[in-house]
C-alpha cells in the first residue's frame, strides 16, 4: 500500500524543493500539496513535476478549519510535512496578525485534523501518522559573538514572525505531550537557492544587481546569518522524515556564518564576473539604510545532532551554492520577471481555475 503524504506550503520556496524531492525519489508515495497560493506561493515552481502520477495539488488555506478537516478526511494522510507559513520577518513587523492566523491557528487546525485521523487509525497496525513540523532557528533569539543554538537552547523569539513560529512549535510539542500525537520538529537556519521569493536578502540583491538598483543593507551590516543551500535542507527533511525519532527536535544548519556586508560584497563580486561588468561595479550599489526593528544580531546552528544520529551534512560549499543560485536566477529571467510583475498569479489561474 502506498504512503500518502500531505505536504503544506509546497508552492513556496523550500516546500517546492521538498515536494520535488519526494515526488521524484519515491514514486510509490502519493504526494498531496496543499497551498493557499498567497503572494509567496508560485505553482510555476513545480511546473516540471505537476503531471507526475503520484502528485496532486489542492488549493487550501490552512486557516480555514472546515477546509482542512475536509482535506484530511478525503485524503487520509499517513503523514504530514508542514511547511506552509508566512515567512518574511519584515512583513511580520508590518502585519503581525497574518502571522498569527497562518503560523499559529493554521498549525493548530492541522494538528486537530491530524489527531482525528490518528485516533481513527490507532488500532490499525500499519498506520503510523507522523506530523513533521518545519521550523526555524529564529525561535532561539539572538546570539552574541560566540556560541551556537542547540536543540536545548531556550526559546527567546524577538520578531512577530519568530514569536508565531515559536508558538506553533509549542503547540506541536503540546499535541505530542498531551495527546500522544507522533510529531517531529526541525529548526533550520537561513536557506538560499533557486525559487526564493525576491523579498529575502539573496534573491532581492541578485534582482537589484541585475537591474542596477540600490542594495539596501540594514543598519551597520554586521548582522550574521548561517546560510544553507535549500536542496541540502530538503535532503535533511527527507532523512528526518524517514529516520528521525518521534518526539525529537533536530537543528539543521550550514556551519556557514556570514556577516551580511561580507556576503553582499561576495555576491557583488560573483555577479560582476558573471555579468561581465567591471570589478567593483556592483559594490557601488550598496546603500546602508535604517535598521530592521528588533533585528537579531547573530544566528548560528550547532547541527551535530543530525550529523551524529542521521549522518547528514551539507553537500555544497557556500561559494558553490551561491554560484549555482546566481546562475539559476540569470537563466530563469522569465521566473523572476513573472514574480516581480505578478504574472505568476496568471499561471495559477490558467492551470487551476478552469
Ligand atoms: P515561503 O514564504 O517561500 O512559502 C510559504 C508557502 O506557504 C507559500 O507557498 C504560501 O502560499 C503558503 N502559505 C502561506 N500561508 C498559507 C495558508 N494560510 N494556507 C496554506 N498555505 C499557505 O516560505 P519558505 O521560505 O519556503 O519557508 C517554508 C517553511 O520553512 C516555513 O514554515 C518557514 O518558517 C520555514 N523556514 C524557512 C527558512 C528560510 O530561510 N526560508 C528557514 C527555516 C525555516
Ligand atoms: O533563520 C531562518 C530564517 O531566515 C527563516 O525562518 C525566515 O523565514 C527567513 O526569511 C530568514 O529570515 P531572515 O530575516 O534572516 O532573512 P532575510 O533574507 O530577510 O534577511 C537576512 C539578513 O539580511 C538579515 O540580517 C536582514 C538583512 N537584510 C535583509 C533584507 C531583505 C538586509 O540587510 N537588507 C534587506 O533588504
Given 55, 132, 161, 344, the catalytic residue: 161
Ligand 1 is surrounded, with C-beta below 6 A, by 8-9, 11-15, 35-38, 40-41, 61-63, 83-87, 102, 106, 134, 136, 165, 188, 190-191, 197
Q: Domains in the chain, ordered, with CATH? A: 4-192+230-254+301-315+342-353 (3.40.50.720)
Measured CA to CA, the distance from residue 62 to residue 71 in angstroms comes to 10
pLDDT single digits (tens) 74-121:
999 999 999 999 999 999 999 999 999 999 999 999 999 999 999 988
pTM value > 0.95 = yes
Ligand 2 atom with least separation from CA of 159? 14
The yes-or-no answer on residue 138 being catalytic is: yes
Of 197, 154, 237, 145, the closest CA to residue 13 belongs to: 197
Say if residue 132 is exposed, middle or buried (CB neighbours under 10 Å; 0-12, 13-18, 19+). buried
Ligand 2 is surrounded, with C-beta below 6 A, by 87-89, 136-138, 189-190, 200-201, 204, 216-218, 223, 225, 260, 292, 299
CA atoms within 13 A on the CB side of 263: 24
Q: How are beta strands 257-259 and 224-229 bridged, if at all?
A: antiparallel
Ligand 2 atom with least separation from CA of 205? 36
User: CA separation (Å) from 45 to 150, 197, 338?
Assistant: 32, 11, 11
Residue 127 has pLDDT above 90, yes or no: no
Measured CA to CA, the distance from residue 198 to residue 204 in angstroms comes to 4
Pocket test for ligand 2, best of 88, 89, 205, 221 (most atoms within 8 A of CB): 89
Conformational region of residue 83, where left means phi above 0, alpha means psi within -120 to 50, and beta covers everything else: alpha
Least confident of 38-42, 124-128, 348-352: 348-352
Chain center to CA of 164: 15
Residue 352 has pLDDT above 80, yes or no: no
Answer yes or no: are the C-beta atoms of 182 and 121 closer than 8 Å.
Answer: no
Ligand 1 atom with least separation from CA of 39? 11
Amino acid at each position: 500500500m502506498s504512503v500518502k503524504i500531505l505536504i503544506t506550503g509546497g508552492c513556496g520556496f523550500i516546500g517546492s524543493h521538498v515536494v520535488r524531492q519526494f515526488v521524484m525519489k519515491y514514486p510509490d508515495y502519493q504526494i498531496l500539496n496543499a497551498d493557499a497560493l498567497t503572494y509567496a506561493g508560485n505553482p510555476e515552481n513545480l511546473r516540471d513535476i505537476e503531471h507526475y502520477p503520484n502528485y496532486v495539488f489542492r488549493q487550501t488555506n490552512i486557516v480555514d478549519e472546515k477546509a482542512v478537516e475536509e482535506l484530511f478526511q478525503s485524503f487520509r494522510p499517513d503523514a504530514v510535512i508542514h511547511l506552509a507559513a508566512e515567512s518574511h520577518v519584515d512583513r511580520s513587523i508590518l502585519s503581525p496578525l497574518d502571522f498569527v492566523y497562518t503560523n499559529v491557528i493554521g498549525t493548530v487546525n492541522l494538528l486537530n485534523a491530524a489527531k482525528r485521523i490518528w485516533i481513527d487509525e490507532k488500532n490499525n497496525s500499519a498506520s503510523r501518522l507522523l506530523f513533521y513540523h518545519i521550523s526555524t532557528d529564529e525561535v532561539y533569539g539572538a546570539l552574541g559573538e560566540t556560541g551556537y543554538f542547540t536543540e536545548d537552547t531556550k526559546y527567546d523569539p524577538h520578531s512577530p514572525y519568530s514569536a508565531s513560529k515559536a508558538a506553533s512549535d509549542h503547540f506541536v510539542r503540546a499535541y505530542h505531550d498531551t495527546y500522544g500525537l507522533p510529531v517531529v520538529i526541525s529548526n533550520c537556519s537561513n536557506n538560499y537557492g533557486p525559487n526564493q521569493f525576491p523579498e529575502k536578502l539573496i534573491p532581492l540583491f541578485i534582482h537589484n544587481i541585475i537591474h542596477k538598483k540600490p542594495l539596501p543593507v540594514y543598519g551597520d551590516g554586521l548582522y550574521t546569518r548561517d546560510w544553507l543551500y535549500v536542496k541540502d535542507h530538503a535532503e535533511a527533511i527527507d532523512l528526518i522524515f524517514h529516520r528521525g525519532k518521534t518526539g525529537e527536535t533536530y537543528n539543521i544548519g550550514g556551519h556557514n556564518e556570514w556577516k551580511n556586508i561580507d556576503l553582499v560584497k561576495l555576491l557583488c563580486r560573483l555577479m560582476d564576473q558573471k555579468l561581465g561588468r567591471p570589478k567593483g561595479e556592483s559594490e557601488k550599489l550598496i546603500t546602508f539604510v535604517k535598521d530592521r526593528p528588533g533585528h537579531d544580531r547573530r544566528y548560528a546552528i550547532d547541527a551535530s545532532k543530525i550529523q551524529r544520529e542521521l549522518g547528514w551534512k551539507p553537500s555544497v560549499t557556500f561559494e558553490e551554492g551561491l554560484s549555482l543560485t546566481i546562475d539559476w536566477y540569470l537563466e530563469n529571467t522569465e521566473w523572476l520577471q513573472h514574480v516581480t510583475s505578478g504574472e505568476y498569479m496568471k499561471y495559477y489561474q490558467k492551470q487551476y481555475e478552469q
